[in-house]
Homo-oligomer: A and B are copies of this chain.
Amino acid sequence: MPRLYVALTHYPVTNKRGDTVASSVTNLDLHDISRAARTFGAQRFYVVTPLEDQKVLVERIIAHWTTGVGAAYNPARRSALELIRLKDSIADAAEEIEGIEQDCPKTVVTCARRYPSSISFEKMRGILQLGRPHLLVFGTAWGLAETYISQADYILEPISGLTDYNHLSVRSAAGIILDRLLGTRK
């Protein structure tokens, strides 16, 4: 099993004008990305927000599906949402992973733009198979802040379709990227 951890961050991200902001949490991001993380064997799914009211919201959603009425109603949903851990910052997530793995995780960021240093999915897939822990970070809103992207260990190439349209939802992008990095073909 790969030592891949996933994070969805709501800060620092950019808004439409390019300002760095904290975005609000979208309920279905938690569901869709935890289900994809569970499908492809990611170890944990960190939801990152420093905002107190947003943390309360995330905790209520997780509780409903892991210990509340939703857990009995839909056990498959429970086993996905149990992967979620709520953190104030990406650094806090990385610190927890270091404690689990006894090894500092490399950070892998995702972006709809190509950088000179972008790494291909194929290459990243090979690196993950070497077995060291990695933290794959997705940004909400208009994407991760440039300052954070520039500090990451790896920048993944953008998802390329048959068009030049590059506006997938973060839910779709997370599913496709986990499949490209960890998916199997019969």
Chain A contact residues, CB within 8 Å of chain B: 1-2, 28, 31-32, 35-36, 38-41, 76-77, 79-80, 120-122, 157, 159-163, 165-169, 171-176, 178-180, 182-186
Contact = CB atoms under 8 A, between A and B. Distances in A.
A169 B32 CA distance: 6
Given A40-B162, A76-B167, A167-B76, A179 B182 contact: no
**Copies of this subunit:** 2
B160 A183 contact: yes
Interface of A is mostly: helix
Contacts of A121: 185
Given A169-B35, A169-B171, A180 B179 contact: yes
